[in-house]
Chains A and B, each alone.
Chain A
Amino acid sequence: MKPAAFSYHRPRTLDDALSLLALHGFDAKVIAGGQSLAPMMNMRFAQPAHLIDLNALPQLAGITLEPDTLAIGAMTRHHEMATSSTVRAVCPLLAEAAATIGHYAIRQRGTLGGSLAHADPAAQLPLVASTLGARIEIVGPDGSREVPAAQFLIAVMTTDLAAEEIIRAVRFPAAAPLERHAFEVFSRRHGDFAIAACAVTAVLAGDTFSSLRIGVGGVADVPLVLDDVASGFLGETADPRTVARIAEAVAGAIEPHDQAEISAVYRRDVVKALVTRALQRVTAGTAGMAQHG
């Protein structure tokens, strides 16, 4: 459980970090919070020759409110997103999801950019970024570019990030006025990897859905945003019968892998239960309402 040898680099500027990546590229790994990478290195699943540490780059952390957008630096820790009054007011789904990642000590170090770059298909932040349509700002030798989360996440632990690039920030759209949200996650042991997770946002006009987004994690190579399913229920009454029909439709729209430990049938049942819980909270008005607008 000790990592293989590596050379350690601690750049003090973003330019230095990019130069190091340009030089070492495929032999290097960037370390942010290290809460996923260090276990992989300790178990020698990952054996980078060079470790480039972003922890001396405070300019990569921080939460900035822009018009209609919340820009969050890649090195911002989960705990800060979970507890920040700005995130809770402007992007409450993100705050709720961040509070469920791993454990208290893990959340102190784990970062937004690290979670997205790691791209675990069951992880909370890729699911929230996809569901909300967040944009990933990437910086590399040729300048910066922005990619929607759904395009950034390509497959299991595979992203659009090139070997010489770094995530600088993520832009989340601010919650619409009166938008409701709920995040539900299930794992066998609290804080363990999720068997499935579900993120929902909705706006109700009277007692009918005027907008509805449903994202599901842990059931495919990347988080799924089920717009085709959700749009079929716009204008319908937000009552228990509709909730049950939506959950049934979501469970029917996914095709989880059949695994020895977790069968497809079981995972589909878990998703149905999570979607039902999330929609019950959203429609009962017990989910947090967006505070601004």
Chain B
Amino acid sequence: MAKTVIYLDVNGVRHEVHCEPRKLLSDVLREDCRLTGTHVGCEHGVCGACTVLINDRPARACLAYAVQMDEARIMTIEAVAQDGRLSPLQQALHECHGLQCGFCTPGIVMTFEAYLRENPSPSEAEVREALSGNLCRCTGYQNIVRAILLAAERLRAETADV
């Protein structure tokens, strides 16, 4: 199948990509954009490891074909830390021991970077509902939930200070 040319805005950088229509967004991010922070687990939308933001909304990169994303704005885990400083969510995951092997972490960070913007004061039940879309086989989730609630608290305090 002939390759097509698409343009992706990934983390504010414009990428010209030549790929077959069948190539997954997750594979284009990793292989063509050389951004391997987006992890590939199940490739059918169940595990959540490949979650990125497409035009600011979280989505499975394995359930989108890159050709569909021509001229779209993609944000990946590589753009979350600013100037080497972890985001409040990343910092909270670090402090709460919210990761062990780290494979699922990029997907969890991307999901909740978006989720906490939409719902800055989630209950624990709401966090657990939103987290149900990301599989973690190490932690048992307890520390991830604690980290997200801590990050939400700090983000609210940050906003209140402004």
State the CA gap A189–B20 with chains docked (Å). 35
> Could you give, for residues 81-98 of chain B, a 1 whenever the CB lies within 8 Å of some chain A CB and a 0 otherwise?
000000000000000000
Interface centre among A1, A35, A105, A108 (most CB of B within 10 A): A105
- Interfacial residues of chain A within 1-54, with CB under 8 A of chain B in the complex: 1-8, 10, 31, 34-35, 38-39, 42-43, 51, 53
State the CA gap A20–B63 with chains docked (Å). 23
Residues A5 and B1 in contact, CB atoms below 8 Å apart: yes
Counting chain B residues whose Cβ lies within 8 A of the other chain, the interface size class is 20 to 34
Taking the complex as formed, is B123 at the interface, i.e. its CB lies under 8 A from any CB of chain A? Answer: no
Q: Which residues of A contact B63 (CB under 8 A)?
A: 34-35, 38-39, 42, 109
Interface centre among B1, B58, B67 (most CB of A within 10 A): B58
Interface centre among B42, B130, B132 (most CB of A within 10 A): B132
Residues A103 and B1 in contact, CB atoms below 8 Å apart: no
Taking the complex as formed, is B21 at the interface, i.e. its CB lies under 8 A from any CB of chain A? Answer: yes
Residues A190 and B129 in contact, CB atoms below 8 Å apart: yes
Residues A103 and B21 in contact, CB atoms below 8 Å apart: no
Residues A51 and B60 in contact, CB atoms below 8 Å apart: no
Residues A105 and B111 in contact, CB atoms below 8 Å apart: yes
Write the nearest CB–CB distance from B49 to chain A, whole angstroms.
Answer: 11
Taking the complex as formed, is B37 at the interface, i.e. its CB lies under 8 A from any CB of chain A? Answer: no
Given the interface pairs A34-B63, A108-B57, A109-B59, the reply to whether A6 lies near B21 with Cβ below 8 Å is yes
**For chain B, what secondary structure do more than half of its interface residues adopt (helix, strand, loop), or is it mixed?**
mixed
Residues B133 and A103 in contact, CB atoms below 8 Å apart: yes
Taking the complex as formed, is B4 at the interface, i.e. its CB lies under 8 A from any CB of chain A? Answer: yes
Given the interface pairs A105-B59, A108-B59, A109-B63, the reply to whether A42 lies near B21 with Cβ below 8 Å is no
Given the interface pairs A6-B1, A8-B4, the reply to whether A106 lies near B133 with Cβ below 8 Å is yes
Q: Which residues of B contact A79 (CB under 8 A)?
A: 57
Residues A42 and B59 in contact, CB atoms below 8 Å apart: no
Closest 5 CB pairs of A and B: A103-B133, A1-B43, A8-B21, A39-B44, A5-B1
Can you offer 12 A-B residue contacts whose CB atoms are under 8 A? A2-B22, A8-B67, A34-B64, A35-B45, A42-B24, A102-B133, A104-B115, A104-B129, A105-B51, A108-B58, A109-B54, A109-B64
